[in-house]
Structure formats: C-alpha cells, structure tokens
Chains A and B, each alone.
Chain A
Amino acid sequence: MFTALVALGAGVGVLAIGLAASGYDPVLALGALGRGAFGSWYAFSSATLVRAVPLILLGLGVAVAFRTGAFNIGAEGQFYAGAIAATWVGVHVTAWPSGLAVGAVWVAATIAGLLWIALPVLLKVRFGVLEVISTLLLNFVAEAMVSYAVTGPLQESARVYPQSDPVADAARLPLLPGSRLHVGILLAVFLAVVLWLLFTRTRWGFRLKAVGLGPEAARVSGGIPVKRVMAGALLWSGAFAGLSGGVEITGVTYTLFQNLSPGYGFTAIAVALLARLHPIGIVLTGILFGALEAGAQGMQREAGVPAVTVQVAEATIILAVLLAEVLARRAAARTISAEDPA
C-alpha cells in the first residue's frame, strides 16, 4: 500500500516535471487532471468509474493467470472477442425481457473470451508454445476481426459507418441516476470479492498460488497437476476478459466499432501488477488508472495538454513499483545471507 502511494507520487511528480519542461503550467494541467477525474460526482462516476469497470474486470482476469505464473498478455484480444459476440447477440434479442437479454449477451461474451484464449492454451499444453507470444499475437487478429465485423456481417443497416447497429434496448444496462455509470461497476466489485474469497479460502486458490510460486514443489510434493491448473487459470482469465467486452457493449457504447478499447487490456496488466494480483487491490488500482485516463481527457480540454502524456505517469508508476519490488527482494536476500553465512 505504501509502495503504491510512493509510486503514485513518483508518477505524478515525473509527469509534472515533464509538463513544466514542455512549457505547460504543471499546476494548471494537474489541476485539470484532478478535476477531470474527481472534480464532480459526474466526473467521478461518468468518467473515472466508467473507465474503471473494464480495467477492474480485465485486471481480475489477468491476475488469475498471473497467479499461476502464466502470462496472459492477450486480454485486449479476448475483450474484443467478447465485444463481437456481445454485439452479435445484442442486436438479435430485441424481443427478450431485459434481464434475460443482458444475461444472454454476457454469457456469449464470456464464452467468446474463453474460446479466444483456448487456442493459446491448447498450444501451450500440447506443444509448449509460450502463452506470452500466442496471446499477444492473437490481439492483432482480434482487432482485425473487429474491423471485418464492422465493415461486413455486423455493419449497421445503413451501411455508412464502420460500426454495428446499437444493441437492443433490452440488452442495455440500467444507469445510475444522474450519471453515465452503469451497473457493471457492481458486477466488477462483486466478482472482485468472489475472486478474493476463492483465492484465500479454497483449494483452487491455494493451488494457483502454489503453482505460481513453486511449480516443481507443487508437482513433486503437492501432487498438483501443474499444467492443468495453469490451463484452467488461463481459461478463466480469457473468460473474464470476454465478459469485460460484453459489459462495455451493454453498458457504455451499445455499438461495436474499431478502437473500442483505448488499450484497456494492456493497462489492465499494470492494474493487476500494481495491486500485486490482489482482487480487492485491483478494484482500487482500477479506479486509480480509470482516474488517470479520465483526468487526461480533462487535461486536454482545459489545459491543451495531449491526453497521451498521462501514459508517462502510468509508466512511471509501473516502473516505480517494479523497482520497489526488486529492492525489497534484495533486502530480503541480504537478511537471509546474513543469517546463513556459510
């Protein structure tokens, strides 16, 4: 927690220096960033939290896989797979009762995310192909699939823009009063709590951790089927990412288009790592990164600073956290070697 705060301070500090060096007024710019993220209930709910929802859901998915030491870098692609499936189902459920329609869309999105990671899982289990590479590459394929879908089978009836028709009203999530925040935030928090309970209280959670920290010991002494646990965690990971795509369609955009995600799937990796893969922590870091993204827009509007500069702050935060971890490990190693000099 302390590390995270120091990292956040470092990130904002570096951003301020960068702004000043580029000739902007850092006080004005950072003030705009703060107002954009937290300036009003509307800003907090409709800008920050709306962006936090996909980051939390994707972060949870990433964390499940990372816990076992399997690196799902393809959350972005699975998010898009989920969004495509969600749109396809969403435009066809016009006559359904609302709850059922949303449920059907979410299930379709979840299955799509799961299927999108199934190939990398199969390749890993059968042929030892690194999931880092296969999941990463499938991101590009997924983006191409979206382009194809919105100019082909899923393009709007008017056939003008490369986007889909909006999903049926029945498949849209209710919004919280006075905001654009949808009830998906409740789903994100609920799933975080569920995952936290599963991680800490169940055999499954224990096995994920054992496989991640000591695969050899897990296999030899724990009798744990290491490959199967990893494969299962990756499938869960894909399912979460797919669901996240479905939530985005039903709660925010209602339509599918290219660049639906501003890199949520990649930011989610930082969200998960910053929270040290802790589900409740991911809710907080998800909101933090949501705030940075939302604040960036405010900064651009009010101070004329390009929104991408916030990525400097994000990157600094990640680097600071990684550095702190390495330093902590070194300190621990020193203590241990001092205890056992021979």
Chain B
Amino acid sequence: MTGDQLKPVLELSGISKAFGPVHALRGADFTLAAGEVHALLGENGAGKSTLLRIAYGMLAPDSGVIRVRDRERILGSPRAARALGIGMVHQHFTSIGALTVSENIALSMGRTGRPADRPAGSDVSVKLMTGLLGTTRVELLSVALRQRLEIVKALATGAGILLLDEPSAVLAPSEVAELLALIREFVDAGGAAALVTHKLREVFVAADRVTVLRHGVVTYSGAVGGQTEETLARAMIGQMVERRANGSTRAPPTSSESAPVVTHFGGVPLRAGELVGIAAVEGNGQRELLRGIALGEGARGSVALVPEDRTTEGLIPELSITENMVLGLDRDPRWARGHRIDWARARSRTTELIDTFGIRADGPDAAVETLSGGNQQKVVLARALECRPTILIAENPTRGLDIRASAFVHEQLRAAANTGVLVLIYSPDLDEVLALAHRVLVVHAGRVLEAPHGTDRRVVGEMMLGVNRDR
C-alpha cells in the first residue's frame, strides 16, 4: 500500500523547533494517511521524538503548520490532541504501578471522553486487552503487558491516529513481532500509525512509508519498497556504514579450545577470549545468571560489569568523570595510598582515558550528567576495562545509543575479547547478539542451551521461545 494517493489525516509541514542553540528540527515535513504505517527513522538526536511530541501537542513548534483531517490546528496540549483523535505511546511507561489496569485506562481518558466521530481503533483495543485483567495492579504486569497497556491507553479515547515512540525498545523479538502485527491490524481497520524507530529491520517489517531524519532535516521520505538497508542507513547517517553480517554466528577464535575455562553460565563452561552472546526473552532468568557471575560467583579472576541502566547502576550523574572512574576502583594502587585517594593521579589517568576512548567532554572534572548517552557509556566501558577484568559482562550495552556509538561499543567488546577477556553480552536485540558473538547461549525458563555454530536467527528465536527444544 502506498500512502501517497490517500488523503492525509495528519499533516505536519515546515516544522522547525530549536532548544536554545540546538536546532532539533529544521523545516521537517511529515504526513500520515489512514490505513498506513509510516516509520520515522533516524539516529538519536535526529529529531524523531521531537517531531512526534509536536504532533501530540506536548511541544509547540517554532514555525510550521499542523493539519488534522484537513483542518489547520494549533495543538496546545496533549489533551487537545486527544480530543482530535490522536493517541501516543511514549518511549517510557506512563502507567502508575500502584493503580489497577482499569484505573490507569480511566486516568488516561481524563475528562476528554470519546470524540463524536469515533474513528477506528476500538476493535483493536478490545483485542489488545487480551491478557490484561482490569483489576490487576500494573506493577504486577510483565514488561510486554505494560507496553500493551500503553497502547490500550492511547486508543482508549477512540484515537484513529496512533503515534508510537520506539515502542519495541523494551520488548523481546517475539513480542516485537506481535506488537507490529497489532499495529498492522489497527491500520487495516482504518487507523493511521506513526512509528518512531532506529531499527532498520522494523521499518522493512512494519512500515508502508518511511521518513528519515538527520540532524532535524528530512533526508528521505517515500515508500519503503525499493529501499534497501544500505540506502536508508545512508540517509540516516550520511555515509555508508558497514552493516553487520546477518544471520549466523561468527567463527570462534582459533585459540579458544585451549584457553582456560574461567566461569560457567548455567552449567556451560566458558573460556577466556570468547565473546559469548546471551539470547533470551525478558524474564527467563538471564539477568539473575549474569548478576550471579558479576558478583564473582564461580568466576576465576575479576569481573567487570556494564549494567543496563547506566545512569542509575553504572554511573553517578552528579559526580565528575574522574570520580565515576574511581567508583569501584577506589583501591586501585595507582591512586589509592592506604586510606587516601590521590585525586591528581586519578584525574590524569582519566584525562588519558578521555583521549583514548574519544569521550566528548569538558575535561575530567565535567559532571557525567553533562555527557550524551554514548559518551556516558564510553565512561562505563573505560572503567570496566580499566580494572583489567578476566570477565566482562555487558548488559544491553547499546541501549539508547545511535549507530555510531553502538559500533564503538561493539568494537571495544571485540577488542577486549581479543586480549583474552571473556566477554558476555546480553541484548534484547537478537541481531546484535548474532552479529557480535562467537557463541550464543539461549536462556529459556532458567535453563541454558547453546545454539549450534552457524545457526540462523529463526532457529535461535525458536529456542528462545522453547519451541524446538525437544526435537
């Protein structure tokens, strides 16, 4: 289906928005027609979320025109947008954990009620309710169900236009497929969906049209058909990047058979110098197994951890880069003198690391909260490698990072494995696991199985769901 011939229900033209000196959007156009999924693709900071927030009335554009069903509108607030049949699913969950599912839905409807013309959507929301019990407290729901509740809430007021801000970020691959299928059902029933993502695969699976943003400017807009991952990636980042090999695991390093076993993961022996990917659907015990090793249980030598939630578990945002570097290394003989810490030495080492890792920061005394996500992750990585670990555990290390920052993280993990570190990487993005790892371990219901070498993503996906385990 090509949306071009269809009448647009939502039209944003010439939208510009600046935050102080930063131009988030420069004259961006975006149209959305009934019956289509229109993907908004771009790196972090490209302006995708800003555009979506403007369409939902959360932000006012500096210039540009918004038309909803052919009428020019000024969306002063999300309430105004909802009244026009626009619903939004936010990147982060917006439900209140202590309240029940029904209470959360009622809360999201507010006093707006359903608009008079009741556009499509209600059938889908009934379907979405499957698995949601109205009287359940939201904090007891799984991540996938909470996500589903977010969509139900967005559709609860009978929205015909659904804006989704990276809805798949928190989901396992099977759940993503289910989500995308639901979105498709919604548009087939006459709805219109805008889908913000930075995953190319999702664009090809889910979208009819795609608009690519780079630094606030639209670099491509049109049908998905005819495009390839390369052409879209080029539009996103402005140059050819090496796309990772799709499909199968990489060959293990030749020396791996003779390397010493340094730990076990769910009973599977792991050797020094291996890059081991962990594939699992959320909640199958993989995190507990990884944290067990991180605490040094059954591990030989020191273990470094790159925690998933980098600003609460990995770093202390208010402290300087130097202080964050010393966190966990406050007994390192290079700067620890008995009970004293020689901050001058720690600072000069941090300056070196800022240089080697290319951390963009205002010197070693800059607070970590002033850094971008990618640079924060570089600080975490630099510190993890600084203690010369035997084992490095990386939990979803590229979460929220753009392509360039992700590539840097991957490079560092590979380099660490090459120097003999056992690197364990867990990511909800199966492609990332397959592209990086020498070996892939699948965790299902707390049990660990190794995927055979050269397995493709379909087989691993089935193992994650426990489908062909007994075959």
Contact = CB atoms under 8 A, between A and B. Distances in A.
A342 B52 CA distance: 10
Contact of B22 (A200, A202, A223, A339): A339
Looking at A204, A214, A338, A339, the one whose CB has the most chain B CB atoms below 10 A away is: A214
Contacts, number: 96
A196 B44 CA distance: 42
B340 interface: yes
Contact of B312 (A214, A222, A334, A341): A214
A337 B49 CA distance: 13
Interface stretch (A40-48, A90-98, A205-213, A276-284): A205-213
Interface in B152-211: none
B87 interface: no
Interface residues of A, number: 28
B20 A221 contact: no
A210 B45 CA distance: 30
B327 A341 contact: no
A334 B17 CA distance: 15
A123 B387 CA distance: 36
Given A218-B316, A221-B305, A338 B22 contact: yes
A222 B327 contact: yes
Contact of A342 (B46, B315, B323, B326): B46
A157 interface: no
Interface in B41-92: 42, 44-50
B313 A338 contact: no
B339 interface: yes
Interface stretch (B131-139, B258-266, B328-336): B328-336
Interface in B309-357: 309, 312-319, 323, 326-328, 330-331, 336, 339-341, 343
Given A210-B327, A217-B316, A336-B369, A342 B45 contact: yes
B24 interface: yes
Given A202-B341, A203-B336, A338-B20, A216 B312 contact: yes
Main secondary structure of the interface of A (DSSP, over half): helix
Given A217-B327, A340-B372, A341-B45, A203 B317 contact: no
A337 B19 contact: yes
Given A221-B313, A341-B22, A213 B305 contact: no
Contacts of A222: 327-328, 330
B330 A217 contact: no
A163 to B, nearest CB: 44
B428 interface: no
B341 to A, nearest CB: 6
Interface string A224-253: 000000000000000000000000000000
A216 B336 CA distance: 23
Contact of B316 (A204, A213, A337): A213
A126 interface: no
Interface string B22-46: 1010000000000000000010111
B307 interface: yes
B455 interface: no
A22 interface: no
Contacts of B313: 216-217, 220-221
B330 A207 contact: yes
Contacts of B341: 201-203, 206
A335 interface: yes
B319 A209 contact: yes
Interface string B127-149: 00000000000000000000000
A342 B323 CA distance: 28
B307 A338 contact: no
Interface string A317-342: 00000000000000010111111111
B328 A214 contact: no
Contacts of A334: 20
B316 A341 contact: no
A341 B46 CA distance: 8
Contacts of A209: 319, 323
B21 interface: yes
Contacts of B340: 201-203
A207 B21 CA distance: 37
Nearest to A217: B316
A218 B327 contact: yes
Contacts of A217: 312-316, 327
Contacts of A342: 24, 42, 44-50
A221 B307 contact: yes
B49 to A, nearest CB: 5
A203 B380 CA distance: 20
A172 to B, nearest CB: 36
Contacts of A206: 323, 326, 330, 341
Given A201-B341, A341-B45, A342-B48, A213 B372 contact: no
Interface of A: 200-204, 206-207, 209-210, 213-214, 216-218, 220-223, 332, 334-342
Given A201-B343, A340-B45, 6 more contacts: A202-B339, A203-B336, A213-B316, A216-B313, A221-B305, A222-B330
6 contacts: A203-B336, A203-B339, A206-B326, A221-B327, A332-B369, A342-B42
